[in-house]
Amino acid sequence: MTAMIEHSGGAQRDQPDAGAGSAYRRTDVLTQHAVEQFLYAEAQLLDEHRYVEWIELFADDVHYWAPTRMTRTHRERDREISDVHQSAYIDDDLQYLKGRVRRLTSGVAWSEEPPSRTRRLITNVRITPREDGELAVTSNFYVYRSRLERHEDWCVGERFDVLRPVDLDATGYPYVVADRRIVLEQTTLLMPSLSILL
Amino acid sequence: MTPPVNELVDADRGYINPLVFTDQGVYEQELEQVFGRSWLFLAHGSQVPKRGDFIQTYMGEDPVLVVRQKDGSVKAFLNQCRHRGMRICRSDQGTSRTFTCSYHGWAYDLEGNLVNVPQEERAYRNEIDKSKWGALKVPRIAEYKGFYFGTWSADVPEFEDYLGDMAYYFDAVFGRWDNGVELVEGTSKWVIDCNWKFASEQFASDMYHAEVSHASALIALHEDPAFWAGTSHQTLMPGRQFGGNGHGSGSFWADSIGFSESMYNSPALSEWVTANADEALRNVSEQQLLKVAGHNTIFPNFSWLAGPATMRVWHPRGPGQIEVWAWTYVPKDAPDEVKAAYRRMTQRTFSPAGSFETDDGENWTEIQQVLRGWKARNNTFNAQMGLGHDERDVHGLPGRTSDALSESAARGFYQRWSDLMAGLSWSDIAELDAARQAKEALHQEVQEA
Ligand code: FES
Ligand SMILES: [Fe+2]
């Protein structure tokens, strides 16, 4: 992982109120374009419930993870978001992520049958190329959900992705997601379930 | 108008008036009569390992701080400043030496005693008696196998008497390892728009819903369609449901000691549990290991499962809303990879994103929505499954049990609820329960003759 990813998550800081230097990031325009279009395409597949295509965007060794979070004091805020050994809402490998797709397409997954209607806004896409050729990408998301007659809720947060370049002509997409950490802003989720994918 | 509160449920006939799930007046009374007079789960010791460690939780709707003391004991007090009622501590968790109110600065020690008042001389002319203005302490706290429960009630029986035969089912899960369990750090919290009793009652008494509600869960867990028939296969297995003192526990029986690998697809867990069967057998009986594996509730709102290692409190938030606070428990002495396997398997099945869990919330929110209707709210619910088929102390299981597919524990849950809501004293409730049990024995004799 790059320094950016570690620091943005609230891990150790050298000084309590300092981050990892300048927050400014710049990438070449083509990479920025490709990454943004990839993330928008992924959002479209989810909004259109095209889960069988969506699952193809993930690497065999993916860790797809949404840790829990709590309210802590400023002094103890490095312990606000759970680490890999602590609680998570989602802690999947590819095998279980495929299981979620089987469930969502089964016709008997009652929390998504009839399915929720979602609209995803992906913004603030920022890229740090890594030495191994993969890209560390952070983005903000706002996922609005409308369900059944009049239920609505929304998930807002930040995603920390690692994108691995693949053959665009062979797969139709320039990357696969090799790692994803989803950090939600709420500590008590104001929703009956996280039955949608993020 | 609302019928008298003691006529809302008829446990003998299996009738529930849905007003118990919707009425604001009933809810206000519940906070006082049920949550104010029962033992409520506060914390597991592993959440506050060192002195000064604290967590904030709730007893009903009342915020309390649970704090590890200098002498190693655990105490709790209302998280409300005695000056003008500000929330004293506003973190979910942390470590502290004192708790200072951020309104005017009154400071409390780890027990909740008021130890400092700013400007005491000028503002109060040193006339305030600080010993009288400590935070409201939870007067009774019980520790049972590393779990802490608290109550505001002076009359409720000691915790072990309150548990009664439920102790057998609790011990089977939490008492089987030499050094007990610990909670994975961090709480999953989420909000469901439903009455708290739907959740509590289901974990006490409802194996019946699994086959239909959770039809998709095995599809998520297994790639092989041959496994997907698994839940219906399970309903062919023998099993029993226990109900007593308002608590409930139900399981299908296993034919060998070990973790149900086929169900949860977790060979690492199966192997470790099988390899450590001797330790479990030193602490609990073989019967307990084979016959206690399912759903559980300690009245009123503390529940757990014994397959996926989830444990939770259903905090009431008005008649139509709950906050679920859920944890994963793991054997304290298990190696890290086994703990990780428990954690992942549990979170994938029972968490706000879990393949079982999401479908439970869906049922409860829909029920609550429908109950907005006037006709719907006056339409009696049927809780008659297994009515008249309870037995006592059979199959090696203590207490009143029935088939695993039964609502015996639900009827017991609502009976206890009703007795408390009627304002009966704890000694009256004990007498009534003894009389009911005597009647039950008579009935059993008549049936046998
Ligand atoms: S309300 Fe706490 S000091 Fe005034
Ligand atoms: Fe369920």
Tens-place pLDDT, residues B281-333: 999 999 999 999 899 999 999 999 998 999 999 999 999 999 999 999 999 99
Burial of A54 by CB count in 10 Å (0-12 exposed, 13-18 middle, 19+ buried)? buried
User: Which residues, in sequence order, are CB contacts of A122 under 8 Å at separation 6+?
Assistant: A36, A39, A40, A43, A139, A140, A141
* Average pLDDT, 10 consecutive residues per value, chain B (449 residues): 86 97 97 98 98 98 98 98 98 96 98 98 98 98 98 98 98 96 98 98 96 92 79 76 98 84 76 92 96 96 95 98 98 95 95 96 97 96 96 95 97 98 98 94 77
Cis peptide bond upstream of A67, omega within 30: no
Among protein residues, the one with the nearest Cα to ligand 1's atom 1 is B84
* Residues carrying CATH 2.102.10.10, chain B: 40-142
| Whole-angstrom distance, CA of residue B387 vs CA of residue B408 | 7
How many whole angstroms separate alpha carbon B246 and alpha carbon B409? 7
- Angle B357-370/B196-205 helices, nearest 10 degrees? 130
Which ligand is the nearest neighbour of the Cα of B364?
2
CA B47 to chain centre: 17
pLDDT at B196: 98
- For chain A, the maximum distance between any two Cα atoms, rounded to a whole number of angstroms, is 52
* Least confident span in A21-25, A88-92, B28-32: A21-25
| Interface test with chain B among A91, A92, A155, A182, by most B beta carbons within 10 Å | A91
Cis peptide before B238 (omega within 30 of 0): no
Contact by Cβ (8 Å): B103, B66:
no
Using CB atoms, pick whichever of A73, A87, A149 lies closest to residue B184.
Answer: A87
Query: Where would I find the H helices in B175-320?
Result: 196-205, 210-213, 217-221, 230-234, 261-264, 267-275, 277-283, 286-291
Q: How many CB atoms lie within 10 A of CB B193?
A: 18
Q: Are B380 and B15 in contact (CB under 8 A)?
A: yes
Ligand 1 surroundings by CB, under 6 angstroms: B 81, 83-84, 86, 101, 103-106
Handedness of CA A38, A42, A48, A50 (dihedral sign): positive
Q: Is the pLDDT of residue A9 over 60?
A: no
Q: Which residues of A touch B193 (CB under 8 A)?
A: 192
Residue A15: predicted pLDDT:
53
CATH of B40-142, one of 2.40.340.10, 2.102.10.10, 2.40.110.10, 3.65.10.10: 2.102.10.10
Complete DSSP assignment for B372-405: TSHHHHTSPEE--TTTT--EES-TT--SEEEESS
Torsion, Cα of B146, B150, B154, B159 (10° steps): -30
Tell me the ligand closest to B294's alpha carbon.
2
Structure tokens at B293: 């594996």
Residues of chain B with CATH 3.90.380.10: 157-448
Please report which confidence band the pLDDT of residue A3 belongs to, taking 50, 70 and 90 as the band edges.
very low
Q: How confident is the model at residue A7 (pLDDT cuts 50, 70, 90)?
A: very low
Q: How far apart are CA A28 and CA B369, in angstroms?
A: 52
Confidence check: pLDDT of A12 > 60: no
Q: Which residues of B touch A187 (CB under 8 A)?
A: 92, 189
Distance CA B43, CA B39 (A): 12
pLDDT given at position B233:
62
Q: What pLDDT is recorded for position B261?
A: 64
Query: What CATH topology corresponds to A2-14+25-184?
Result: Nuclear Transport Factor 2; Chain: A, (3.10.450)
Q: B157-171 burial, b if ≥16 CB within 10 A, otherwise e?
A: bebeebbbbbbbbbb
* CATH number of B157-448, picked from 3.90.380.10, 3.40.50.10490, 3.40.50.170, 3.90.1170.50: 3.90.380.10
Q: Provide the pLDDT confidence category of residue A140 given band limits of 50, 70 and 90.
A: very high
**Is the CB of A110 less than 8 angstroms away from the CB of B363?**
yes
- Please tell me the pTM assigned to this model: 0.95
Give residue B334's pLDDT. 95
**How many angstroms separate the CA of residue A74 from the nearest CA in chain B?**
10
A73 touching chain B per CB within 8 A: yes
pLDDT (0 to 100) of residue A13:
39
Kindly list the residues from chain B whose CB atom is less than 8 angstroms away from the CB atom of residue A190: 190-191
Q: CA of B353 to nearest chain A CA: how many angstroms apart?
A: 5
Q: Are strands A58-67 and A175-184 parallel, antiparallel or unpaired?
A: parallel
Side-chain-side CA neighbours of A168 within 13 Å: the count stands at 5
Give nearest CA residue, ligand 1 atom 3: B104
Q: Are B107 and B114 in contact (CB under 8 A)?
A: yes
Sign for the CA dihedral angle at B306, B310, B312, B318 comes to negative
Q: What is the pLDDT of residue A17?
A: 64
> What is the distance between the alpha carbons of residues A102 and A106, in angstroms, rounded to a whole number?
6
What was the pLDDT predicted at B29?
Answer: 97
A89 reaches B (C-beta below 8 A)? yes
Nearest protein Cα to ligand 1, atom 4:
B104
Local structure of B436: helix, strand or coil: helix
